Structure 1
């Protein structure tokens, strides 16, 4: 399939389904690209299209997230599609349909953000005040930053496109930037967004707090531990709005959503917006397929009172005595997708502090997460060295985010993939550029080893 034509045809449709909980605006239908953003109402509609792309099934709705946990060591595949088993085996081929759909979905998100960033500044509608205009731009910058960050950690360097696509040939011939430059684009967008956004708390919509969260993650990946600690602290210090809920299941069980645990999550209403995760995890008796299931190793960790604590609620047994994942369970499928929880800020700060030899402070943060899970505190006697604390953080992240898309990226970013995953081919620490893109655009080059 033609990469540019696919992106062009998908990305110019900005009137996506309604998400009134975070963007209260009625969809505008049949808007041509040249007139999509002409006033405050159409600007908000276009921005809602950016969020809809982020929430789509091929991005944070399911497919991109699946890369983060299927390629780790917590999940088994119970179905028959060999392309999914490629992630489990850590031998993903360039013709894998999941990476093809993820690539398109992320660039769709980028293009919609580009459209907002290019057109909103020129709107003269008096109802689109300077404050609103800045907010819309800040939201688009932040989501584009997340998109480039996700591309960088998944594929390495990618083409950096910052202008909207208006015709199929617009993005043809753009060579891949380096991974470092792709990460740098994400930071550039976050820096641009931070002063534009409100300081309020909104768990479904980007604010300045969302930027703090993504910057803390970004700097951890870049091994800038002082800044990772700084931005994580900005969230943790806001204890009025962000806190670790007890017990662990309180942030998702009993149809909970938008709790104090959440910094940024995606809202799905189960009708016009559906989170397809549920169908993959739930067993047949609950209307799912259970094609993704916790493996024996993860089940043992979660059910070990000294390791999983009360996080054992993440798994359950069906009527055939088989374990299944229970983070996504709602019917209709309205489970949130969690992009950033406050638990991540604690564990980012714990890791960053340990890397700076602030071992006592690191243990304090690590133990906050352990305490919420009903575990006893680690001490300098049980975790006496920097390396011991870093390993404890790694292990804690494995169970804390067991069914969220962190494990693969965590182990790769710390250089521990050979030891943990027995990944002897370092070329496999990033995934291949989808073959469809290579066939369409000769300016693209494949990652080494594929």
Structure 2
């Protein structure tokens, strides 16, 4: 086994040619680097796994950039602050589909930290295979490697699967782009990296990447516990992934493949059978506080007592997830101060406020029942308009999501999107996922039951009979339920539907959609696939560019 540092810094610098690793290492709890060969206890392995989660949870990775990319490539958000357009940056280039014009793009920040998590996960697996860890306190199951080995392997496989899957969705053309899915996928490595020579490996095909992800997740499902148990686990494990997080990710993978039978089977294992759900929906009037204003470890975080949240990236003040006023999600979505009447006189020239607002297309697709639907009434700010008589769907009535923070400029906290957790898996997504799979299997009763559970939680009446196009109605409910949670572009690719240019067509000179001639972007277009950073290609002679 080669000498390597468990924080994985060398791997990040080698892969992407970045120099910010040192800043991150200043933030890790131990403020130490340990050679992998010297890891001898469960406690030291826990430090390594905590490092993996800290990397992927950062607001430049799964706690931010990945969520933003999933929406800015799509059609449900629009530019709000003209500075976002007039001073093009890594994120705005994703929105305008011009991200290929710069090598170090929005995806590179994500790759940096997902690689950090992936490297730590690979290190854990290699250390476990070396059988070098010993029980430090006999009689304490929390420190007994024989009792913790399976759980630690399951966690490492889960983190690796998460990183490889998301890299595949961002860097590879979609599933189905080629008949056998042999087109290039992620840049992920499945072993630890210690020097530049370790970079000589080819990109996996998309098919091989999906197979590896599913293999890791099947093993993780078997090895991971159902929840944190203080009698059996050290406190380090409480904010991390359990068996059901592995199942949730597995369902997303099969969903992305549009594999109806497998997705349905996994959703059933995740949600349970019968009329109740293993992860019960929070009440409709508590969605904002119960889902989007959580902070630190809550009574239901990886606990036997469950609510809608299956897995969340838990905020640790000073390190992750939403720790600052300028965190990416907050800068993109949160309206901190109301606009003046004068500013709202021309909503197309706003030079302050969040980068994005909800698009006109979102208003049309969601078609909310504005009297009853609690998502419209509690999760969206529709008050920003020059006159109270402005129609609900007018371009002059601005809509801002409240999921990532409400208004406020002082005493900032979780309500305003600062020091808040990021919920990554919640049961509503998988209830709707199962509803679609059931409908496509002609289980109309089951599909309608799942759809109505989401509708009734939102304050709507249950549908007594299925609409003429039940699948289309379920997909509309996806829009209403999951807006700004990072899934839009991936869902369009799964369905092989073109991305409507949306509000881009009304930008000055139609600049926001010039890259597509303001035409719908096909589901398999190069415009919604990132390039591989040139620094990686320069150092890996076996890697290939997307096109």
State the match for 1:324 in structure 2.
400
**C-alpha distance 170-192 of structure 1, shift in aligned 2 (>3 A):** same
State the match for 2:77 in structure 1.
75
State the match for 1:247 in structure 2.
284
Q: Once the 2 structures are TM-superposed, how far is the Cα of residue 350 of structure 1 from its aligned partner?
A: 0.9
State the match for 1:187 in structure 2.
214
In 2, are the aligned partners of 1:152 and 1:179 still within 8 Å (CA)? yes
Aligned pair 1:281/2:333, yes or no? yes
State the match for 1:23 in structure 2.
none
In 2, are the aligned partners of 1:353 and 1:359 still within 8 Å (CA)? yes
Q: Decide which structure has the larger Cα Rg and report it.
A: 2
Unaligned 5+ segments in structure 2 are 1-11, 137-142, 173-184, 229-236, 301-306, 339-351, 387-397, 407-411, 503-519
State the match for 2:198 in structure 1.
170
Q: Once the 2 structures are TM-superposed, how far is the Cα of residue 92 of structure 1 from its aligned partner?
A: 3.0
Structure 1 length as normaliser, TM-score? 0.86
**3-state secondary structure, aligned to 1:60:** coil
Q: Residues 184-231 of structure 1, C-alpha deviation per residue, up to 9 Å, x if partnerless?
A: 111111122122111226983211111121112222222332221122
Q: Once the 2 structures are TM-superposed, how far is the Cα of residue 61 of structure 1 from its aligned partner?
A: 2.0
CA-based RMSD of the aligned residues comes to 3.2
In 1, are the aligned partners of 2:493 and 2:523 still within 8 Å (CA)? no
CA distance in 2, matches of 1:35, 1:229: 43
Deviation larger for 54-63 or 411-420: 411-420
In 2, are the aligned partners of 1:155 and 1:432 still within 8 Å (CA)? yes
In 1, are the aligned partners of 2:135 and 2:144 still within 8 Å (CA)? yes
Number of aligned pairs? 434
| Match runs of 1:13-412 below 5 Å | 17=27, 27-35=29-37, 37-77=39-79, 78=81, 79-80=84-85, 81-82=87-88, 83-93=90-100, 95=102, 97-120=105-128, 121-126=131-136, 127-156=143-172, 157-171=185-199, 173-200=200-227, 204-237=239-272, 239=276, 241-247=278-284, 249-250=286-287, 252=289, 255-256=293-294, 258=298, 260-275=307-322, 276=327, 277-285=329-337, 289-299=353-363, 304-305=368-369, 309-312=373-376, 313-316=378-381, 322-329=398-405, 331-332=412-413, 333-380=418-465, 383-384=467-468, 388-412=469-493
CA distance in 2, matches of 1:183, 1:131: 30
Unaligned 5+ segments in structure 1 are 19-26
In 2, are the aligned partners of 1:116 and 1:137 still within 8 Å (CA)? yes
In 1, are the aligned partners of 2:245 and 2:311 still within 8 Å (CA)? yes
Q: Residues 315-346 of structure 1, C-alpha deviation per residue, up to 9 Å, x if partnerless?
A: 22577765432112272412221211000110
Q: Once the 2 structures are TM-superposed, how far is the Cα of residue 435 of structure 1 from its aligned partner?
A: 3.4
In 2, are the aligned partners of 1:302 and 1:399 still within 8 Å (CA)? yes
**3-state secondary structure, aligned to 1:49:** helix
Q: Residues 364-421 of structure 1, C-alpha deviation per residue, up to 9 Å, x if partnerless?
A: 211211111122333545x23xxx2222222111121101011110011111126787
